[in-house]
Amino acid sequence: MSLYTIRFSDCDPFGHLNNGRYIDYFLNAREDHLRDHYGIELNEWAKRGIGFVVNRHDIRYLRPAGYNERVAIRSALIGWTDTELHVELQMWDEPLRQLKAIVWTSFTRVNAATGRKEAHTQETIEFVRWALLEGGPEGLDERIAALRTANA
């Protein structure tokens, strides 16, 4: 989990975090989590020819995040295929009482030199098996309902 403060330059005229900036906060948090919790430096992977590109986001905006508000972002690996990783990211208020937004993001593994999709290496598969959230959610709406129920 990481804590972030919503910046003025990231807000819309209503003082809410701009919808496009949620993705920036989420992806920055995931990079921080990979480095801080798993020792993975994405720039080091890129030097070795390993890259990941986003191929889809499914995001739900549930409550506004406002200017100067502190938010907590959690991330977890929730699924994978031979060429993709599926990650869930949640944005909460700082006391972790109110879910602000949730996104499911799919990353496709690519060869950094060619830009072409490629299968995961054994190293990546071992990491996935270790880091995968067991019993991951079946659908985003069901996941939101479960999170709300757990925090009620």
Q: Where are the domains of the chain?
A: 2-150
Quickly state the pLDDT bin for 117 (edges 50, 70, 90). very high
How many residues does the structure list for the chain?
152
Residue 134 CB neighbour total at 10 angstroms: 5
Reported in sequence order, the residue ranges of the chain that DSSP labels E, i.e. its strands, are 2-5, 50-61, 70-80, 84-93, 99-111
Mean pLDDT on 38-51: 88
Question: CB–CB of 88/102 below 8 Å?
Answer: yes
pLDDT at 148 over 70: yes
Q: What is the pLDDT of residue 52?
A: 93
The residue behind tokens 């995968």 is 132
- What is the rounded distance in angstroms from the CA atom of residue 79 to the CA atom of residue 62? 23
Helix or strand run (H / E) with residue 130: helix 122-131
Q: What is the pLDDT of residues 50-99, one digit of tens each?
A: 899 999 999 999 999 999 999 999 999 999 999 999 999 999 999 999 99
Q: What percentage of the chain has pLDDT greater than the value 90?
A: 78
The residue behind tokens 């403060």 is 5
Q: What is the pLDDT of residues 121-145, one digit of tens each?
A: 898 899 999 999 877 667 999 999 9
Domain 2-150 class, CATH top level: alpha beta
Helix or strand run (H / E) with residue 28: helix 19-38
Q: What is the pLDDT of residue 45?
A: 86
Q: What is the pLDDT of residue 49?
A: 85
